Amino acid sequence: MDCMTKREVTEKEREIWEALTGDDFSPIYEEADRIRQREKGDEVFIRAIIEFSNCCRRRCRYCGINADQRQVRRYRMSSGEILETAKQAIDAGYRTIVLQSGEDERFTGNGGEELAKTVRSIKEYDEDVAVTLSCGELPYDTYRNLREAGADRYLLRHETADAELYEKLHPCGTLEERLRCLRDIKALGYETGSGFMTGLPGADAVTTAKDLLLLKELECDMAGIGPFIAHPDTELAGAENGSAEMTKRAVAFARLLLPEANLPVTTALGVLSPREREKAFSCGANVIMKKVTPDRYKKDYDIYPADLQRTDIKRDRRKIEEMLEEIGRIPV
């Protein structure tokens, strides 16, 4: 209860906090699974993610590719390479391409001209493929230009709903500005994805309750919820990782609050344990993302430590399809 005395905690936050920290969470897992089944059926969307640049101007303390990390070998894929990778993913059966990067002006400067070209070229190759962008905070006009170029969705996690903690972890921004971006994205008609990390140093279950209520307030269409994983080259090296259990509980709660949302099982959860990642599909999740980033870049997109396998776009997708079929779900 200690944490409850230090800050203002609303009735709703207390309710969620109590549920999140309760002994028996199984009724909520079951409820989340029922809602997922009712709203989304048994289909699981597999999305291809291309990490096209690890250049980043921001200094998020938890992130292994933040601008202060001198040891990182920085790369940018050329537009040709991005398109080639996207084509391979589409040919392997992916219906959504996620383009993710650090905050890299080379792509998003000048009204997002360079990135917009890539979005258009993917849409020219297959107009029915959805393009999701995840490239950080941008001015309204840039978000608008990218939307006009054909981008369908935008992912920008709010990271933590605790404004003070947000500012400690992000010397380069404020929660207020983050939320401005999310509201712009929503207003422009993107399917809007937010999300957060569980177990950040300085966060607790009250923070998670606030995070969940913020997802609801934003009326997100998607929410990525993953555990914090300490990166050994950052100043948070040695800090405790987020827990798989709290992450699954948060995903289940997100399903209750946002019945129709697309909720991925996150890669970070898989880093803690591949088994936990599979289990998250019975806690309300209905999406999985797979890296299709070419091998020569993949290891340098090192936001948190992960055990990376060689990329074989077709085979990797088939393996996920098989895993989903084994747990009784329908890969899409």
State how far the Cα of 56 lies from the Cα of 173, in Å rounded to an integer: 14
Residue nearer to ligand 5AD on the CB measure, 30 or 240 = 240
User: Considering the rule CB under 6 A, would residue 179 count as an interface residue with ligand 5AD?
Assistant: no
Q: For the CB of residue 128, give the shortest distance to ligand 5AD in the complex, in Å.
A: 26
Q: For the CB of residue 260, give the shortest distance to ligand 5AD in the complex, in Å.
A: 22
Q: What Cα–Cα distance (Å) separates residue 52 from each residue in 101, 107, 142, 152, 319?
A: 6, 10, 18, 18, 23
223 and 261 Cβ atoms separated by less than 8 Å: yes
Q: What single-letter DSSP state applies at residue 308?
A: P
State how far the Cα of 62 lies from the Cα of 233, in Å rounded to an integer: 10
Instruction: Show the site string, 214-243: x = touches ligand 5AD by CB under 6 A, - = not.
Output: ------------x-xx-x------------
User: Considering the rule CB under 6 A, would residue 159 count as an interface residue with ligand 5AD?
Assistant: yes
User: Considering the rule CB under 6 A, would residue 63 count as an interface residue with ligand 5AD?
Assistant: yes
Q: For the CB of residue 206, give the shortest distance to ligand 5AD in the complex, in Å.
A: 19
270 and 305 Cβ atoms separated by less than 8 Å: no
Residue nearer to ligand 5AD on the CB measure, 96 or 329 = 96
State how far the Cα of 170 lies from the Cα of 260, in Å rounded to an integer: 31
248 and 276 Cβ atoms separated by less than 8 Å: yes
Work out which of 17, 52, 62, 301 binds ligand 5AD, going by CB under 6 A: 62
State how far the Cα of 210 lies from the Cα of 14, in Å rounded to an integer: 10
Other C-beta atoms closer than 10 Å to the C-beta of 306 total: 17
List, in sequence order, every beta strand (DSSP E) within 54-183.
96-101, 130-134, 153-155
Q: For the CB of residue 281, give the shortest distance to ligand 5AD in the complex, in Å.
A: 20
Q: For the CB of residue 119, give the shortest distance to ligand 5AD in the complex, in Å.
A: 19
Q: Which two tokens stand for residue 123?
A: 């849409």
Which residues in 240-259 contact ligand 5AD (CB under 6 A)? Answer: none
Q: What single-letter DSSP state applies at residue 288?
A: E
State how far the Cα of 320 lies from the Cα of 47, in Å rounded to an integer: 11
State how far the Cα of 120 lies from the Cα of 131, in Å rounded to an integer: 10
Q: How many residues bind ligand 5AD (CB under 6 A)?
A: 12
Residue nearer to ligand 5AD on the CB measure, 101 or 145 = 101
| Closest residue to ligand 5AD, based on beta-carbon distance | 304
Work out which of 182, 212, 303, 332 binds ligand 5AD, going by CB under 6 A: 303
Beta-bridge partner residues of 55: none
Other C-beta atoms closer than 10 Å to the C-beta of 260 total: 9
Q: Which two tokens stand for residue 8?
A: 């203002």
Work out which of 218, 304, 311, 329 binds ligand 5AD, going by CB under 6 A: 304
Work out which of 48, 161, 175, 197 binds ligand 5AD, going by CB under 6 A: 197
Instruction: Show the site string, 11-50: x = touches ligand 5AD by CB under 6 A, - = not.
Output: ----------------------------------------
Residue nearer to ligand 5AD on the CB measure, 184 or 302 = 302
Instruction: Show the site string, 129-158: x = touches ligand 5AD by CB under 6 A, - = not.
Output: ----------------------------x-
Q: For the CB of residue 230, give the shortest distance to ligand 5AD in the complex, in Å.
A: 7
The alpha carbon of 277 is separated from its chain's Cα centroid by a whole number of angstroms, namely 14
Interface ranges with ligand 5AD (CB under 6 A): 62-63, 157, 159, 197, 226, 228-229, 231, 268, 303-304
